[in-house]
Amino acid sequence: MDIEVFKISDGYRESISKGIAAMQYFKGRVKYGTGDREEQLQRLKNEIRSCDAILIGAGAGLSTSAGFTYTGERFDKYFFDFGKAFGIKDIYSGGFYPFPKKEIFWAWWARHIYFNRYVDAPKPVYKDLFNLVKDKDYFVITTNVDHQFQRAGFDKKRLFYTQGDYGLFQSSHPTVAKTYDNQEIVEKMLEAQGFVRDNEGIFQLPEDKKLKMSIPTELIPICPDDGLPMTMNLRTDESFVEDAGWNMAAKHYQDFLHSHEEATGQCKITSGYNLPAKYVLHTVGPIVQGELTEKEMKELKSCYRACLTKATEAKCKSLAFCCISTGVFMFPKDKAAEIAVSTVREWLDTHPESTVERVIFNVFTDEDKGIYEEWFFSRR
């Protein structure tokens, strides 16, 4: 059985450059599990059915897969005139264009908001996801601002839109933490540009496709509380308003996490999914506040033992540990290294049936590397 120390240097720039290099290295080498696509999907469904709770993290890619593309057909259909007049190539970059007049600015944003917030996604991706998790204890945290989770049936109390909502306005220089529903005024802006409703009440292009790229001045939104111009409730700078609804959603998210906290010193195992590892072991280390206690040392030992047990149950041959609890949890590094090395050695010595043949201690600093090497070579 081999035990090794592996160091990863710290530093933002170095992390980014090495991350890019790693992506290139692992391109084509990432394992998505055994079996064909249908077998993998079935395995994922089985894990969803058997899990205690599901936390969904979603970004722009989910909406893109649902058909909310910002280029191509959708842009050509709803923003063709802006593209021709201003040379704008896609919906995203149009949101940053320096339009010469506020009336034109809001004509653009009325379309931008409506066709990304007040209509259903072209493909049933969100509804399919909801059907997978609707009977589970789930929560969604997302940077998406298009409201598609709620439109698909997800419970509002189980959603946290961290970056805002296309459906809300706020003051451009807020003095109060308030937001304002914008559907009514956005629809008036669309009508003023020449859009017409179909039989289902959804705005469409007029038959002649003649649209105005401006709204009447009186439709420019003004904050009712401070009299200042309104803007979108999107997190673009420090003026973003976290209103009562945002803070309530944040609380619901924290409550969900607290309700599923794992006990210190225990371990759970999940698939490695797209990582270059078959499994990921999850353990919660002790938090040290003040003097190190005997209880905290026992809990850290339990982390290593629990991980080794789970790894053996999964028939793993190799296992990599980070420096558990030595970061923000403030466990003294020297003592943590002693516990890590001695506990792993003791456990392996007393479990000859274990499948684990190789253990790696993955450290982050030269200080950590030196401590572990001292325990390996000087304190055996």
Cβ-based neighbours of 97, under 8 Å, separated by 6 or more: 86, 88, 108
pLDDT at residue 207 above 50?
A: yes
Q: What is the mean pLDDT of the chain?
A: 89
Query: 3-state class of 141 per DSSP?
Result: strand
Residue 38 pLDDT: 85
pLDDT at residue 120 above 50?
A: yes
Integer Cα distance of 345 and 320 in angstroms: 14
Whole-number Cα distances in Å, 55 to 58, 134, 156, 253: 10, 12, 15, 10
Whole-number Cα distances in Å, 34 to 190, 280, 316: 51, 16, 16
pLDDT at residue 205 above 90?
A: yes
Residue 261 pLDDT: 79
Nearest to 256 by CA among 45, 58, 62, 56: 56
Cβ-based neighbours of 23, under 8 Å, separated by 6 or more: none
Read off the tokens for 256. 């969900």
Residue 380 pLDDT: 56
pLDDT at residue 265 above 60?
A: yes
Read off the tokens for 349. 């010595």
Residue 248 pLDDT: 96
Structural domains of the chain, with CATH: 2-23+262-377 (3.40.220.10), 54-256 (no CATH)
Read off the tokens for 163. 């970056």
Q: 249-284 burial, b if ≥16 CB within 10 A, otherwise e?
A: beebbeebeeeeeeebbebebeeeeeeeebbebebb
Nearest to 361 by CA among 373, 348, 377, 353: 373
Condensed to tens digits (0 to 9), the pLDDT of residues 279-337 reads 999 999 999 999 999 999 999 999 999 999 999 999 999 999 999 999 889 999 999 99
Residue 2 pLDDT: 55
Query: 3-state class of 353 per DSSP?
Result: coil
To the nearest whole percent, how much of the chain has pLDDT over 90? 75
* Helix ranges restricted to H, 27-160: 37-50, 60-65, 73-78, 80-86, 91-94, 102-117, 125-133, 148-151
C-beta separation of 161 from 254 below 8 A? no
Integer Cα distance of 300 and 264 in angstroms: 8
Condensed to tens digits (0 to 9), the pLDDT of residues 125-164 reads 999 999 999 999 999 999 999 999 999 999 999 999 999 9
Condensed to tens digits (0 to 9), the pLDDT of residues 158-192 reads 999 999 999 999 999 999 899 999 999 999 999 99
Condensed to tens digits (0 to 9), the pLDDT of residues 53-108 reads 999 999 999 999 999 999 999 999 999 999 999 999 999 999 999 999 999 999 99
Question: Residue written as tokens 């459906």?
Answer: 167
Residue 99 pLDDT: 96
Residue 376 pLDDT: 78
Residue 16 pLDDT: 39
Q: What is the DSSP secondary-structure string of 49-77?
A: HH-S-EEEEE-HHHHHHTT--SSTHHHHH
Integer Cα distance of 272 and 78 in angstroms: 42
Angle, CA of 56, 59 and 63, to the nearest 5°: 105
- Cβ count within 10 A of residue 305: 18
Integer Cα distance of 320 and 233 in angstroms: 43
Which is it for strands 138-142 and 54-58: parallel, antiparallel or unpaired? parallel
Burial class (CB in 10 A: 0-12, 13-18, 19+), 14: exposed
Task: Indicate the helix (H) or strand (E) that contains 269.
Answer: strand 267-271
C-beta separation of 272 from 26 below 8 A? no
Nearest to 118 by CA among 213, 206, 198, 184: 184
Q: Give mean pLDDT, residues 247-269.
A: 91
Integer Cα distance of 189 and 110 in angstroms: 6
Integer Cα distance of 198 and 346 in angstroms: 73
* Residues comprising the chain, all counted: 380
C-beta separation of 326 from 284 below 8 A? no
Residue 318 pLDDT: 95
pLDDT at residue 250 above 70?
A: yes
Read off the tokens for 136. 């589970």
Q: Give mean pLDDT, residues 45-50.
A: 84
Type of residue at 23: M
